[in-house]
Structure 1
Amino acid sequence: MGKVAILGSYVVDLASLVDRLPIPGETLLGSRFMIGPGGKGSNQAIAAGRLGSEVFMIGRVGNDFFGQMAIDNFRREGINIDHVAIDPISETGTAQILVGQDSENMIVVVPGANSKVEIEHVNNARAVIQGTDIFLTQFELGMKTVEYGIETAFNLKKLVIVNPAPAQPLTREIFPLVSIMTPNETELQSLTNMPVDEIEQVEKAAKALRNLGVDQVVVTLGRKGALLVNESTVQHSVGLSVNAVDTTGAGDAFNGGLVTALAEGKHIKEAIVFANKVAALSVQRHGTAPSMPLRSEVESLDHISNK
Structure 2
Amino acid sequence: MPDVLIVGSYITDLTARTAALPKPGETVIGTDFQTGPGGKGGNQAAAAARLGSEVVFVTKIGRDAFGEQAKHHFMKEGIADTYIIETEEAPTGTALIAVDDKGENMIVVTPGACGHLSAGEVEQAEKVFEEAPVLLLQLETGMGAVEKAAELAFRKGAEIILNPAPYRELPDRLLQKVTYLTPNETEAEEMTGVAVTDKDSAEKAAAILLSRGVSTVIITLGRKGCFVMNNYEKFTVSGEPVKAVDTTGAGDAFNGALAHFISTGMELHEACLLANRAAAVSVTRTGTAPAMARLEELKRL
Does TM, normalized by the shorter one, top 0.5? yes
Q: Secondary structure of 1:177's match?
A: coil
Q: How many residues align?
A: 301
Q: Tell me, yes or no, if the aligned pair for 1:164 and 1:182 is still in contact at 8 Å.
A: yes
Q: What are the superposed Cα offsets for residues 143-167 of structure 1, whole Å, 9 maximum, x if unpaired?
A: 1211121111111111011000001
Per the alignment, residue 99 of structure 1 pairs with 99
Q: Tell me, yes or no, if the aligned pair for 1:6 and 1:57 is still in contact at 8 Å.
A: yes
Q: What are the superposed Cα offsets for residues 182-221 of structure 1, whole Å, 9 maximum, x if unpaired?
A: 1001111111122212331111001110010000001110
1: distance between equivalents of 2:21 and 2:199? 27
Q: Secondary structure of 1:168's match?
A: coil
Per the alignment, residue 304 of structure 1 pairs with none
Q: Tell me, yes or no, if the aligned pair for 1:93 and 1:112 is still in contact at 8 Å.
A: yes
Per the alignment, residue 305 of structure 1 pairs with none
Q: How does 1:122-271 map to 2 (within 5 A)?
A: 122-271=122-271
Q: Tell me, yes or no, if the aligned pair for 1:2 and 1:264 is still in contact at 8 Å.
A: no
Q: Tell me, yes or no, if the aligned pair for 2:7 and 2:58 is still in contact at 8 Å.
A: yes
Q: Structure 1: which 4+ aligned runs deviate by more than 2 Å? A: none
Structure 1: tracts of 5 or more residues without a match: 302-307
2: distance between equivalents of 1:67 and 1:142? 19
Q: How does 1:69-88 map to 2 (within 5 A)?
A: 69-88=69-88
The TM-score with structure 2 as length reference comes to 0.98
Q: Secondary structure of 1:235's match?
A: strand
2: distance between equivalents of 1:215 and 1:23? 40
For structure 1, which segment, 213-222 or 140-149, has the greater mean C-alpha deviation from structure 2 after superposition?
140-149
The TM-score with structure 1 as length reference comes to 0.96
Q: What are the superposed Cα offsets for residues 77-102 of structure 1, whole Å, 9 maximum, x if unpaired?
A: 11100110001120000000000111
Structure 2: tracts of 5 or more residues without a match: none
Q: Tell me, yes or no, if the aligned pair for 1:215 and 1:230 is still in contact at 8 Å.
A: yes
Per the alignment, residue 60 of structure 1 pairs with 60
Using the TM superposition, give the Cα deviation of residue 135 of structure 1 relative to its aligned residue in structure 2, in angstroms: 0.5
- Mark the CA change 1:269 to 1:182 in structure 2 (over 3 Å): closer, same or farther: same
2: distance between equivalents of 1:78 and 1:237? 30
Query: Is structure 2 residue 46 aligned with structure 1 residue 34?
Result: no
Using the TM superposition, give the Cα deviation of residue 132 of structure 1 relative to its aligned residue in structure 2, in angstroms: 1.0
Q: Tell me, yes or no, if the aligned pair for 2:185 and 2:195 is still in contact at 8 Å.
A: no
Q: Tell me, yes or no, if the aligned pair for 1:5 and 1:55 is still in contact at 8 Å.
A: yes
1: distance between equivalents of 2:170 and 2:148? 12
Percent identity, aligned pairs only, is: 44
Per the alignment, residue 287 of structure 2 pairs with 287
1: distance between equivalents of 2:161 and 2:67? 27
Q: Tell me, yes or no, if the aligned pair for 2:50 and 2:295 is still in contact at 8 Å.
A: yes
2: distance between equivalents of 1:151 and 1:247? 32
1: distance between equivalents of 2:69 and 2:210? 40
